[in-house]
Amino acid sequence: MAAEELLGEIKRVVVEETPFASVISDISFEGPRVVLCCKNLDLLMQNGEAIKELARKIRKRIVLRPDPSILSKPEEAEKEIRRLVPPEAGITSIIFSQVIGEVTIEAQKPGIAIGKGGALLREIMRRISWTPRIVRAPPIKSEIVQNIRLSIIQAGAGRRDILQKIGRRIHREQKAKGDWTRLTSLGGSREVGRSSFLLQTPESRIMLDCGVNVASEDRAFPHLEVPEVRLPELDAVILSHAHLDHCGFIPYLYKYGFEGPVYCTPATRDLAVLLQLDYVDIAEREDKLLPYNKKDIKTFLRHCIPLDYGDVTDISPDIRITFHNAGHILGSSIVHIHVGEGLYNLVYTGDMKFDKTRLFSPAVCMFPRVETLVMDSTYGGGGDIQPFRADAESEFIRIVNETLKQGGKVVVPAFAVGRAQEIMILLDDCRRKGIFDGFPVYLDGMIWEATAIHTAYPECLSQDLREQIFRMDQNPFLSDMFVRVKGPDQRAQVIEGEPAVIVSTAGMMAGGPVLEYFKELAPDPRNVLIFVGYQCEGSLGRRIQKGWREVPLRNEKGRVKNVKVNMEVRTVEGFSGHSDRAQLLNYVQRISPKPQRVVCCHGEESKCLDLASALHKLFRIETRVPRNLETIRLH
């Protein structure tokens, strides 16, 4: 059935089977959702059950929208909102979007603005005839969250047109015949970096992730040159999480003809934009030519359709997806892909952690159906056993305490997203328990902004952490122990100052402020450098980790100077956001239902092969380790 016919069918159901047909002025698709435009919101509000029933019947998510003719004046509506919402909700901004009749209310305590069971929300809607959307004001002010929210609201009519076009495409008539599904690796197979897959059916083409390898010159980007990648014909990109090796090349797609949506969680969208902007900034600073610019990042943002965990969503006539928690970083997802009507099911883990961390619950392993599992193999080698988290934590704290007692400083190179926040929560917890004295912890590089985004999406965090934030009102990210380093002057003060912990980017010391600290603090044997994350072969971090005692570094004038490494260099394993070998095996053991086939990717060649052979021996299932550009016919 074509989009128009499908709309006609939905209209028929509304007219014949609901009590509110008389107030509906228009029905349209916006992306995967059905928008009901109506002239009497009040009446619709009273028919909550009938709307739910309709959504079930047409198997679509429904968005209610006021007909432009009934909108009250924004000034009056704003007054009414401020009168209705109790001051404890802490409203920080109210922005009206005329095109879609929506008012975005940002509040410090969104729960209060929504009211019990959504009662206040409905009351606001009834009084002002705008659809209110309540969003959380991050307790740490985040420029990026603010700019993203604002730019989506300002995109108004342009974004609506984009979504309508995408909506018609999703609901097009299924023309192609046949029942095969194939998966082609475009990058990130038998390697780490530039992850990308193309999933094809006779009807649809979907891309899973589209990353870059920041540490490589000649293998930096995925293979988009193959004939089956035809960007204008691509239905959608599904983004598993915000790390650049999964999202770094997405803006490029828009520059070369892609006009479809990117599906990801709201947190992934914000973090992805943050990391992409930083990627472009660094390239500009280093005079490197990138194949896209900030304008293309904005285009990506306009085409992004955020989906929450658990939302079942049609993305093409024969493909339906659902995101589930992956336990890796904020917003990271395992993607369940359902092809056809019960024809085939694929689970793509992206990067995942099958263990409890301080930040997240373990990756989800229960699905309605799964025939092929495509899995993260980063630590799939036989020897990749990480120590217990608790042991890693006490080792880390012991080194930190000893160093500070001796009057030294601790430098921790960390990725802005993930490890940095894990270390912050650990330090905060230890201080509460009296194991760590209240020395200042300086955060430099993008860590502050990334942490702010964490505070905007507490619903993604682990149960324990949510409880600590909401029930006990102890948000570890807001601890006064953490100090943001704002520029070179303050950095110099930190270097000159008292004993302290410095957590700074880049995680593999490939650049960023961590190098400034390293240059000045490396010669003093009282100081210590602690690695807590993966150090890629060839990176400066890996060299220092291996024991280089003299490191050539460029100063501001571009001259190379040798830096003597007298500081202690330590590596504490066990903080990883990836599953280790035991957790990977455990995941395949536990996943339900049992898949018929496992595809190992995202790992060095030997690790993928090693994991695949272990899985085959242990579970007697077919395993595959494709090379880049190899295609697997799934059925």
- Among 33, 122, 169, 243, the residue binding Zn ion under the rule CB under 5 A is 243
Length of the chain as a residue count: 635
The distance of closest approach from Cβ of residue 329 to Zn ion in the complex, given in angstroms and rounded to an integer, is 6
3-state SS, residue 217: coil
CA atoms within 13 A on the CB side of 487: 1
The distance of closest approach from Cβ of residue 362 to Zn ion in the complex, given in angstroms and rounded to an integer, is 16
Quote the longest CA-to-CA distance of the chain. Answer: 80
Query: Binding string to Zn ion for residues 278 to 317, with x set by CB under 5 A, is what?
Result: ----------------------------------------
CB-wise, 125 or 453, nearer to Zn ion?
453
3-state SS, residue 323: strand
* The residue to which tokens 């003597």 are assigned: 564
Q: Which amino acid is at 203?
A: E
The distance of closest approach from Cβ of residue 265 to Zn ion in the complex, given in angstroms and rounded to an integer, is 14
Only segment of 26-34, 314-322, 346-354, 596-604 that touches Zn ion (CB under 5 A): 346-354
What gap in Å lies between CA 624 and CA 612, rounded to an integer?
7
Q: Is 159 in the site for Zn ion (CB under 5 A)?
A: no
DSSP calls for 419-466: HHHHHHHHHHHHHHTTSS----EEEETTHHHHHHHHHH-GGGS-HHHH
Only segment of 197-205, 223-231, 311-319, 345-353 that touches Zn ion (CB under 5 A): 345-353
Query: Which parts of 38-67 interact with Zn ion (CB under 5 A)?
Result: none
- Among 191, 296, 318, 351, the residue binding Zn ion under the rule CB under 5 A is 351
Only segment of 237-245, 501-509, 532-540, 555-563 that touches Zn ion (CB under 5 A): 237-245
Q: Is 602 in the site for Zn ion (CB under 5 A)?
A: no
What gap in Å lies between CA 182 and CA 184, rounded to an integer?
7
Only segment of 350-358, 441-449, 465-473, 528-536 that touches Zn ion (CB under 5 A): 350-358
Tokens of 385: 């056993």
Only segment of 139-147, 150-158, 236-244, 493-501 that touches Zn ion (CB under 5 A): 236-244
604: which residues sit within 8 A by CB, 6+ positions away? Answer: 190, 191, 192, 381
What gap in Å lies between CA 618 and CA 596, rounded to an integer?
13
* The residue to which tokens 């799934």 are assigned: 634
The distance of closest approach from Cβ of residue 327 to Zn ion in the complex, given in angstroms and rounded to an integer, is 11
The distance of closest approach from Cβ of residue 378 to Zn ion in the complex, given in angstroms and rounded to an integer, is 9
The distance of closest approach from Cβ of residue 375 to Zn ion in the complex, given in angstroms and rounded to an integer, is 13
Q: Is 422 in the site for Zn ion (CB under 5 A)?
A: no
The distance of closest approach from Cβ of residue 490 to Zn ion in the complex, given in angstroms and rounded to an integer, is 30
CB-wise, 163 or 510, nearer to Zn ion?
510
Q: Is 353 in the site for Zn ion (CB under 5 A)?
A: no
Q: Is 520 in the site for Zn ion (CB under 5 A)?
A: no
What gap in Å lies between CA 330 and CA 372, rounded to an integer?
25
Residue 374, beta-bridge partner list: 348, 599
CB-wise, 200 or 240, nearer to Zn ion?
240
What gap in Å lies between CA 250 and CA 195, rounded to an integer?
11
The distance of closest approach from Cβ of residue 328 to Zn ion in the complex, given in angstroms and rounded to an integer, is 6
CB-wise, 213 or 527, nearer to Zn ion?
213
CB-wise, 351 or 520, nearer to Zn ion?
351
Across 18-50, b (16+ Cβ under 10 Å) vs e yields bebeebbeebbbbbbbbbbbbbbbeebbeeeee
Instruction: Locate all alpha helices (DSSP H) within 220-329, ordered by sequence.
Output: 244-247, 250-255, 266-285, 294-303
Positive or negative, the CA dihedral 583, 586, 591, 596 is positive
CB-wise, 235 or 351, nearer to Zn ion?
351
The distance of closest approach from Cβ of residue 323 to Zn ion in the complex, given in angstroms and rounded to an integer, is 15
Residues in contact with Zn ion by CB under 5 A are 243, 351
